[in-house]
Structure 1
Amino acid sequence: MSRIEPLRLQPIFQARVWGGDRLDPDSPDPIGEAWVVYEGNQVVDGAWAGKTLLEVTGELGAELLGTTAVAQTSHGFPLLIKLLHSREWLSVQVHPNDEQAARLEGLNTVGKTEAWHVLEADPGAQVIFGLNGEHSTAQLRRMAREGTFEDVLRYVPVERGDTLFTPAGCVHAIGPGLLIYEVQQTSDITYRLFDWNRPETAGRALHLDKGLQVIGACE
């Protein structure tokens, strides 16, 4: 008899400098992300109440994930699903693929490929999806240092119902006025290339050396 039942998870809210008030209106901080399916989420009711999704995954294994996912995943639940609400531009960033992540961050790490589905969009909302032409690594590094990196970016208008597949290596950013459903690999490796000239802090440092190594195509 199957032990699988619907799992209702407690979301984890993440404050972000670019976040808004849609995801957790009671928070005094701008909430940019709600992690709604994540291995650290706790099950709120039923037979698995109080356990994390990671613990449930460990007990059920292939019964929950299937044999292919179990064979490919050594670190837990393979997906992270988020809701994103942006009041300002997110940083311009890029993620490594699995091979690059292992080389740059160490074994047993995975890269990040993701996809976005636009749930709501203010009029004129945009995302960044790649570069606007061919640019050398030296040119990109110089423009990032000078604070003019936005001049090499490809801006794409989006509206409610749009879906974008964002592979590892694709330079990207989400613009203001968007509510997005995001599905990604369970990885938090982000190389920030440009942060709209916000004051650089330890928590929002740029990662040019690694980021410029992994830039690739978006399509």
Structure 2
Amino acid sequence: MTKTFRIDRRGFLCGGASFFLAGCTSGMERQFKLPVSPQNDPYYLSLYGPLPDERFPVPAVDLKKVDPAYYRRVVDYDGPERPGTLVVDTPNRYLYLVAENGQALRYGVGIGRDGFAWSGRARIAYKRAWPTWTPPAEMVARQPELEKFRNGMPPGLQNPLGARALYIFDGNRDTLYRVHGTMEEWSIGRAVSSGCVRLLNQDVIDLASRVPNNTPIIVRPA
């Protein structure tokens, strides 16, 4: 039996109810009301607000540093992938969690810079909350200042893997690429990392809560 995948729209949209109700004002009030920019939209301010209950409390995202096109949202999706699949649209800097009924949950991402980009079909072998980051030997060779982290950098807000990491395997082989969090808001929508796919910490926490181990992932080439 095929297991269907549904986005919990109630959980995803719950923060928006008050915003929509707030829009039910009289014609006179609407006449003098200035439009709310996405950066000041109460819904997105709630979606990307602080997470004080995390092991390392996560501060609110400065939405002025993120293009609104990369805010998390439910979108129409007409790709051929089965529900439950992760799809990284490298050229457009999006990650999709495919749902049924022609929809997907879309996140903005930062991707690998030229020379370090990776693409292909693989799986999320496992996930880690507040992971240790261990730079590959070849990265240490390129950047000697990372020698002190050869055996691992402890978790925390400054750890390059952020609040969550999803480990990408090709069969039983670790590709050394990850889907992970970041504190660097400005990097979303850009090609900056060493091949990994980075999301805002609020987004990667949400994503990790939705996908089980062995979730298939497709990274489309640039």
Instruction: Report the TM-score range of the alignment, normalised by the length of the smaller protein.
Output: under 0.3
Q: TM-score, normalised by structure 1?
A: 0.24
Q: TM-score, normalised by structure 2?
A: 0.24
